[in-house]
């Protein structure tokens, strides 16, 4: 009976994250501040790895790690979001690879052709835009105009260019199709404040 009681005490004393961590889980490493996956677990020793085959696994304790969660606030893993890219200085779209209970999200790297979690973009969930039906009176399908020349992720946009709204996001951005003829259209993420109802 004492042995059973001692076992229960041991289980209760274990952190919830330690009991739920498993090989292959995506985790946030509190030591480096980046995202890895669990390579293997040997007792209280947890080995984490990124997708770089040349890198050695790092040894961690369960208290060093946060397991990814399905969603945090309005942002879910796998969702397409818009965000301000500090490197390019433009609004861009990206896919959320993981979110954590510390309020951080990691996005698909725009530089790499494959997912390399250690090199993905780290950003606060609050800075991301998620798709909504309407924002500032603008909906998908609306025709807007670029009143003055803009610089965006895919290049400059001429004044007077027609912008057809594809998606609207709750951070005041919109994914739009630009161009007056079909074969010249391309997608870009612009801020609604930089667009107008007409070019007249």
DSSP 3: H
> For 73-116, what is the HEC assignment?
CCEECCCEEEEEECCCCEEEEEEEEEECCCCEEEECCCCCCCCC
Q: How many C-beta atoms lie closer than 10 Å to residue 109's C-beta?
A: 17
The C-alpha angle with vertex 148 and arms to 156 and 151, in degrees rounded to 5, equals 25
- For range 140-148, the mean pLDDT: 94
**Does 185 have pLDDT greater than 60?**
yes
> How many CA atoms does the CB half-sphere of 155 hold within 13 Å?
5
In contact, 134 and 173? CB cutoff 8 Å: no
In whole angstroms, give the CA distance from residue 116 to residue 50. 7
pTM, two decimal places: 0.78
Q: How confident is the model at residue 181 (pLDDT cuts 50, 70, 90)?
A: low
Per-residue pLDDT tens over the stretch 71-115: 999 999 999 999 998 888 999 999 999 999 999 999 976 544 444
Residue 7: predicted pLDDT: 35
Q: How confident is the model at residue 147 (pLDDT cuts 50, 70, 90)?
A: very high
Q: How confident is the model at residue 119 (pLDDT cuts 50, 70, 90)?
A: low
**Does 171 have pLDDT greater than 50?**
yes
């Amino acid at each position: 009976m004492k042995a059973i009681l001692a076992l229960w005490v041991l289980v209760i004393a274990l952190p919830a994250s330690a009991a739920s961590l498993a090989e292959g889980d995506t985790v946030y490493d509190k030591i480096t501040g980046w995202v890895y996956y669990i390579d293997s677990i040997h007792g209280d020793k947890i080995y984490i790895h990124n997708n770089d085959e040349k890198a050695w696994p790092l040894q961690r304790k369960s208290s060093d790690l946060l397991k990814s969660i399905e969603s945090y606030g309005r942002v879910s893993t796998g969702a397409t979001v818009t965000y301000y890219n500090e490197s390019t200085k433009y609004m861009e779209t990206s896919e959320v690879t993981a979110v954590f209970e510390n309020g951080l999200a990691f996005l698909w790297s725009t530089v790499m052709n494959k997912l390399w979690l250690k090199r993905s973009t780290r950003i606060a969930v609050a800075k991301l835009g998620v798709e909504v039906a309407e924002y500032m009176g603008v909906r998908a399908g609306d025709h807007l105009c670029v009143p003055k020349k803009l610089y965006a992720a895919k290049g400059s946009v001429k004044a007077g260019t027609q912008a057809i709204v594809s998606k609207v996001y709750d951070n005041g951005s919109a994914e739009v199709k630009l161009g007056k003829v079909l074969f010249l259209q391309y997608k870009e993420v612009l801020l609604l404040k930089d667009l107008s109802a007409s070019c007249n």
